[in-house]
Amino acid sequence: MDDHGIDNDTKALETSMERGQEESNCTNQIHGSDVSFTLRERQGAWDCLNGSSNGRPDNQSTDGEFDLPSTPLANLRQSNLSQSSSAVEVSSVNDPSLTPSPRVHKGLDHCVTAPVERNLFLENEELPFSQSMTEKRLDRLSEREKKQLIVEIMKIQRDGTVEVDLTKDSPVASELLELHQLDRVPSAIDYIAADHNKSVPKLKIAVLVVGTRGDVQPFLAVARRLQAYGHHVRLATHSNFRGFVKSAGVDFYPLGGDPRVLAGYMARNKGLIPSAPGEIAIQRKQIKAIIESLLPACTEPDLITGEPFRAQAIIANPPAYGHAHVAEALGVPMHIFFTMPWTPTYAFPHPLARVPQSAGYWLSYILVDLLIWWGIRGLINEFRRNKLKLPPIAYFSSYHGSISHLPTGYMWSPHVVPKPDDWGNQVDVVGYCFMNLGSKYQPSEEFAEWIQKGSQPIYIGFGSMPLDDSNKTTNTILEALEITGQRGIIDRGWGDLGKYSNIPDNVFMIVDCPHDWLFPQCSAVVHHGGAGTTATGLKAGCPTTIVPFFGDQFFWGEIIYQKGLGPAPIPISQLTVESLTEAIRFMLQPEVKSRAMKVAARIRKEDGVGAAVDAFHRHLPAEVPLPPPSPPPEKDDSPNPLQWVFTKIGRICCWACAS
């Protein structure tokens, strides 16, 4: 469908939704400031987003009973014999993101020797992807039953977020929860770590990342470490970050979508479901552009040098929708990494859902997967048919609709959020993945003098988050700093803080400064709660106030509060002089600073980048696609008078290496 067709569909959708404002045929009403429509109409919006008028693909039956197609990817993914891992604690080095592990086997020019953990009871056997009883029951549900499950226990909030309410009677939800309790029986198999190395061929790896700079940065750190092992890594992300990626010495390929547009959409809607009909076209065009750019990112030559590239393994974050389908088409292994939880657990709810009852935490992940699948399945099936030459997926399943069967690594410290007990050996909590950008940063003389001439300031900035009224927010910040008598550093960011305000002498405005250099200069930090910014603040030992805008920012705000490292999060819509003043006073308490310093000491001992690379190597299948052999050099029969010299030098070098 071309853009003109999208626009026509969107106009038709908006007209139908306006007509539907008077209807009340569903108990779950969605109330917006300018529009009110029912959950059934909201589902119609998602069907239009799919490009499907009847709410399902053309070959979708009403009962949802289909056999999963057999694919090469299913055979490649399943060789996980390792126990769950956590962050590796090692001594700090000057730039660990560039330092290869000493376990690199220098004697192999085509392989690296990767550390793995070995199951002593099931050695040399592979564990196939097997569904739990819960997943099998979920897959047997018809589309109608799945939609009924959503209607029965989910509330759609006015801002597009979802709330899971288990106080309502839902037989299907009760059955799923009971089955999952049985599935949680621990395995009798014991996985014992042993000194065991696995030779991994040097691979061409495509890293697919959708999001803001804070989302891209930890993947860039991992990409650099993978290169240190000898892999050829291409990081594919939005064109906005081309210079950032290339300056780190990593190959770049552009993905579709604009992070500014995506951030603005998320800030306005705050959830999975568009809060107004006009938002649907924005979301559809962005997601479509992202999905259609994934295959070229994994197969096309370098756009500048023309160097051929075909991915032999894929690393991606979940918002790069379509990643697993590209891996399926190419027949290559896939590994998910992310900075927010996406694997079902009873420990905490899905970051995009509100769940008052802890019993619904696990179920919230299933429901969010369902909603996302309904929103993108039309685009995914179009992509599979037209680009990947794969059969369409007729219905949501635990295999195609979630990441639960894929090796997954979470990029946060286990000292901040420990790995839940119900996450299996496919999941690792590797630690924060830092780049150490501040090691080469030189502040301006004016900035350096300002920092030195007074007490430690408080950092306040919201990164890539857009602001409805930047002048009002700036004045709120300035007044709170004046009341508390604190100096402040305000980061302008994408919200243009401080653009139209008179800035007093006790406040310094910055535009671009590495947080890992800046935060150690500060007494406390106030920010939007992005995973990367939160991690850097904790590593610096800074008490933290999070002002969340959307998504996982609320999750990290709650974690900071529960750990006693800062006050309760203040949503951006509730940011006032009074709330910010109270938050600053909370952060300045000595006991809060003491707790922050203890957490910082633990984080500094971790090597999250190294643990992420180890996890990637460990979860690779026993047989991975080998790189194609390099073509032999053209024979040159002409005499080379320096050949004898080169031969002698080579022999001398070999003697030195052998000693």
Residue 647 lies in a domain: no
**What single letter denotes the amino acid at residue 421?**
D
**What single letter denotes the amino acid at residue 483?**
I
DSSP label of 422? T
Beta strands 196-201 and 111-116, pairing class: antiparallel
Please tell me the distance from the alpha carbon of residue 573 to that of residue 566, in angstroms, as a whole number. Answer: 19
As beta bridge partners, residue 238 has 255
Alpha-helical (H) ranges within 434-569 are 445-452, 470-484, 515-518, 531-539, 552-562
Number of domains in the chain: 2
- Verify that 375 and 513 share a domain, yes or no: no
As beta bridge partners, residue 154 has 164
What is the maximal distance between C-alpha atoms in the chain?
A: 90
Identify whether the C-beta of residue 610 lies closer than 8 Å to the C-beta of residue 88.
yes
The token pair at 133 is 């009883």
The count of residues in the chain is: 659
**What single letter denotes the amino acid at residue 606?**
E
Please tell me the distance from the alpha carbon of residue 274 to that of residue 291, in angstroms, as a whole number. Answer: 19
Identify whether the C-beta of residue 235 lies closer than 8 Å to the C-beta of residue 220.
yes
The token pair at 276 is 């107004």
- Verify that 322 and 175 share a domain, yes or no: yes
Nearest CA among 122, 91, 103, 77 for reference residue 196: 103
Q: What pLDDT, on a 0 to 100 scale, did the predictor assign at position 611?
A: 97
Q: Which residues contact 369 (CB under 8 A, 6 or more apart)?
A: 396, 401, 402
Q: Which residues contact 131 (CB under 8 A, 6 or more apart)?
A: 139, 398, 399
- Verify that 501 and 623 share a domain, yes or no: no
Q: How far is CA 327 from CA 66, 139, 159, 313, in A?
A: 22, 22, 34, 8
Q: What pLDDT, on a 0 to 100 scale, did the predictor assign at position 646?
A: 37
Q: How far is CA 454 from CA 362, 443, 522, in A?
A: 49, 17, 11
Please tell me the distance from the alpha carbon of residue 413 to that of residue 425, in angstroms, as a whole number. Answer: 17
**What single letter denotes the amino acid at residue 583?**
A
Name the phi and psi angles at 106, rounded to 5.
Answer: -70, -15
**What single letter denotes the amino acid at residue 351?**
P
Residue 331 lies in a domain: yes
Beta strands in 385-475 (DSSP E): 408-410, 427-429, 458-461
For the CA atoms of the chain, what is the radius of gyration? 26
- Verify that 452 and 549 share a domain, yes or no: yes
- Verify that 408 and 451 share a domain, yes or no: no
Residue 124 lies in a domain: no
Torsion sign across C-alpha atoms 330, 331, 332, 338: positive
Domain boundary among 562, 588, 605: 605
3-state secondary structure of 408: strand
Please tell me the distance from the alpha carbon of residue 631 to that of residue 200, in angstroms, as a whole number. Answer: 21
As beta bridge partners, residue 78 has none
- Verify that 444 and 424 share a domain, yes or no: no
Domain boundary among 590, 605, 620: 605
Residue 214 lies in a domain: yes
Block mean pLDDT (10 aa), the chain, length 659:
44 41 35 33 41 40 34 34 34 40 36 45 39 66 74 70 73 66 47 52 96 93 97 97 96 92 67 62 87 97 96 96 95 96 93 85 88 88 95 71 86 97 94 90 94 96 86 94 97 82 90 93 96 96 95 93 98 96 98 98 97 96 61 43 39 39
Identify whether the C-beta of residue 166 lies closer than 8 Å to the C-beta of residue 172.
no
Residue 577 lies in a domain: yes
This prediction has a pTM of: 0.73
Please tell me the distance from the alpha carbon of residue 403 to that of residue 424, in angstroms, as a whole number. Answer: 13
Q: How far is CA 541 from CA 340, 520, 597, 602, 603, in A?
A: 21, 8, 4, 10, 10
Residue 644 lies in a domain: no
Residue 91 lies in a domain: yes
- Verify that 443 and 385 share a domain, yes or no: no
CATH number at residue 56: 3.40.50.2000
Please tell me the distance from the alpha carbon of residue 543 to that of residue 583, in angstroms, as a whole number. Answer: 10
Chain centre to alpha carbon of residue 496: 26
Residue environment code for 601-623, b if the CB has 16+ CB neighbours within 10 A, otherwise e: ebbeebbbbbbbbbbbbbbbbee
- Verify that 14 and 154 share a domain, yes or no: yes
Identify whether the C-beta of residue 5 lies closer than 8 Å to the C-beta of residue 19.
no
- Verify that 591 and 623 share a domain, yes or no: no
Please tell me the distance from the alpha carbon of residue 32 to that of residue 34, in angstroms, as a whole number. Answer: 5
Q: What pLDDT, on a 0 to 100 scale, did the predictor assign at position 97?
A: 43
- Verify that 45 and 15 share a domain, yes or no: yes
Alpha-helical (H) ranges within 118-272 are 133-140, 143-153, 171-183, 213-228, 242-247, 259-269
Q: What pLDDT, on a 0 to 100 scale, did the predictor assign at position 153?
A: 76
Please tell me the distance from the alpha carbon of residue 39 to that of residue 57, in angstroms, as a whole number. Answer: 20
Q: Which residues contact 43 (CB under 8 A, 6 or more apart)?
A: 55, 147, 374
- Verify that 490 and 626 share a domain, yes or no: no
Residue 658 lies in a domain: no
Range of the domain at 576: 437-605
Identify whether the C-beta of residue 251 lies closer than 8 Å to the C-beta of residue 302.
yes
Q: What pLDDT, on a 0 to 100 scale, did the predictor assign at position 155?
A: 77
Identify whether the C-beta of residue 460 lies closer than 8 Å to the C-beta of residue 427.
no
- Verify that 406 and 551 share a domain, yes or no: no
The token pair at 50 is 């799919």
